[in-house]
Amino acid sequence: MNTELYDGALKARRWRFRLPWRPIIGTALVVAALAFFAALYYKTTFLGLTDRHALDVAQVARNISTGKGFTTRVIRPFNIGLLSNGHRQTAEINTAPAFPYAVAVLFRLKSPSDQVVIWISLLFLILTIVSTGLLGWLIFDLRTGLLAMSVVGISGPVIDAGASGTEWTMAAFVFTLLLLSIVFQYSAMERGRRFASMVYVTLSAFFAAVLFMIHHILIFLAIPLVLYFAFTGSNRWQHVLVFAIAFLSIITPWAYRNASLTGGSIIAANAWDIFSNSKICPGDVFYRSADAAQRGVARTFLFPLEHFNAFVPKLVAGTSRLALAAVPMLGLAILPMVVVSVLHRFKSERANRLRGFVYGALVISGISFALFSVDTRSIVIFAPIVGIFGAAYFFQLLDDKKLHTVYVNLAIAAVVIASCWPSVAEIMVRRDSVPRSEIASPSEYFVSLNAGGLRGTIYSDLPWLAAWRMDVTAVWLPQSDDDVVELTAAGYPMHVIILTSEVDTYPPSEVWYLVHKSELWRDYIRDPEECMAEFKSTANPPQFWFERFQKYMKERRRTLSLSRSLSGFIVRDAGMVRALPGQGWGATPYEIIVMTGFTP
């Protein structure tokens, strides 16, 4: 045997199967640079958890990590009535389970803290960046994937979503995996690999179900996915059937749990979010009421018909907010490419097929996010694929112009710089150099109360903050005396009330707003006769004026729905904030009102 020929053939085979190390190393360096940029952004901007939903997730995750199950310490009056059919009234029905359980895993390994919640969110941000590059590489080429992942990885709103401690970077990562499964399914279908195509359809159903477990409203993404399989390729109805069976099989246990707790809603209490932030229920007023007339699931379906004048403005305002949030997500450099590419057909047929699903998903999610008052950070889930389309069109323009390599590199650098300057501006602001204020924030105040050993049920306008900082049961301020009665019967009597500046966002017609704003109203609610006598002796007004004023106060108090429950509550000294862990300073609470008493 000629060994020289054998050795030559062996070397040729090794050469043929050699990995593309240069692209791999280059991609790894880009990912490392983007990870460092995200870490630097977090390091320079992080001041603790501030997002309301992130605080809510944190306290739920702590309950999971301590063996209490998927429960909450934030009590919403609306949920008390909704869960009054024998179920635990601490069952969490406002948050999907995937992200809290992911946080709870790290809570088990480390102690619960703000940083741990952010780390999980940032981890999924890095995974989203990597999956963006992979998706761009598969449907276009490597340079498109690298530019797309760079634009997404340095985008201020995207990194802010990662540093917020919310679930949206996790959703973005899983949504990108869903897009990858669609691409692989189309490739298998083109090659006539029927079994592989079915496997990828099942995988798509799995990722769609995971999205539902990340946020309940993301269940609506199954609609454009079904339409995609119904109108793409051969064996369409088989694909639809396989997807439907797999998707429903995965989500059924959790959907049944939600429906049994809420009386029929598979998306749990999120179904009633359709009422919030509308003309009939401004802000979150809806969840602060235990009104039984609003609990029926059918009312959520009838909302567009019964309250059409509130439905349309909410839809318009919600979609407008989402559109405005999408503008800075990719920046003014790549966004025009995205807009123009809508009318352009790509050379990659896989990209064109995928774009059809993405357009449907954008429409469906935009409507559902707007109607159910989902955070505008939710638009981040589309950042990877939109960035890929924009980068692909950008490179096609450069190829059509046949520019010199130097000018191409300059154009790429210009896009990257234009995309990152908002994030760089945030990083350059050194928050640790700002002098420590002598006024305590609500977060610092609750930490101080926890250090002082305060326990028990607390009524507050920031219940998620109180529950996380103090590890106590915190009740969201109810709206009426009937709500207080129902909460007391459920085992949550009103003894301690802590009001912060957040209550100033409440309607002026509410007693909480008046009590926080006016010392006179605090005294009058406690004891009307003593308050009027003290006012008369101090101000010494004319008798006719005093009688009219006294009559006004009586009539006004009669219209306040919570005046009876607050009768006898005394304002306590909020006290100085104790030195917090790692800090040798104290501060005075500002606009924090503490009241104690017993509900009659």
Determine the pLDDT at residue 584. Answer: 43
- Check if the beta carbon of residue 353 is closer than 8 Å to that of residue 317: no
Q: Which pLDDT score is estimated for 452? A: 78
Q: According to the model, what pLDDT value does residue 384 have?
A: 94
The pTM score is 0.91
Mean pLDDT of the chain: 87
Where does 98-141 have alpha helices with state H?
A: 98-109, 114-139
Residue 217, pLDDT above cutoff 50: yes
Across 362-514, where does the E strand assignment appear? Answer: 439-440, 458-460, 474-476, 496-499
CB of 97 closer than 8 Å to CB of 170: no
Q: Tokens 């326990």 belong to which residue?
A: 455
pLDDT tens for residues 50-77?
Answer: 899 999 999 999 999 999 999 999 999 9
Helix (H) or strand (E) holding 74: strand 74-75
Decide: 217 and 374 in contact? Cβ < 8 Å: yes
**Is residue 169 a contact partner of residue 382, using CB atoms and an 8 Å limit?**
no
Mean pLDDT to the nearest integer, 211-228 = 96
Domain boundaries, the chain: 31-428, 439-596
Cβ-in-10-Å burial (0-12, 13-18, 19+) of 536 comes to middle
Model confidence at 15: pLDDT above 50: no
H-state helical runs in 46-91:
52-65, 77-82
pLDDT tens per residue across span 551-585? 998 888 888 888 888 888 888 877 766 545 444 44
What pLDDT was estimated at residue 393? 92
- Separation between Cα atoms, residue 142 and residue 136, nearest integer Å: 7
CB 77 within 8 A of CB 478: yes
Work out the number of other CB atoms within 10 angstroms of the CB of residue 308.
10
Residue 405 neighbours by CB distance under 10 Å: 7
Q: How confident is the model at residue 433 (pLDDT cuts 50, 70, 90)?
A: low
Q: How far apart are CA 134 and CA 126, in angstroms?
A: 13
Question: How many alpha carbons lie under 13 Å from residue 500 in its C-beta half-sphere?
Answer: 20
User: CA-to-CA distance for 462 and 502, rounded, in angstroms?
Assistant: 7
**Residue 586 has what pLDDT?**
53
More confident residue, 409 or 244: 244
pLDDT value, residue 1: 47
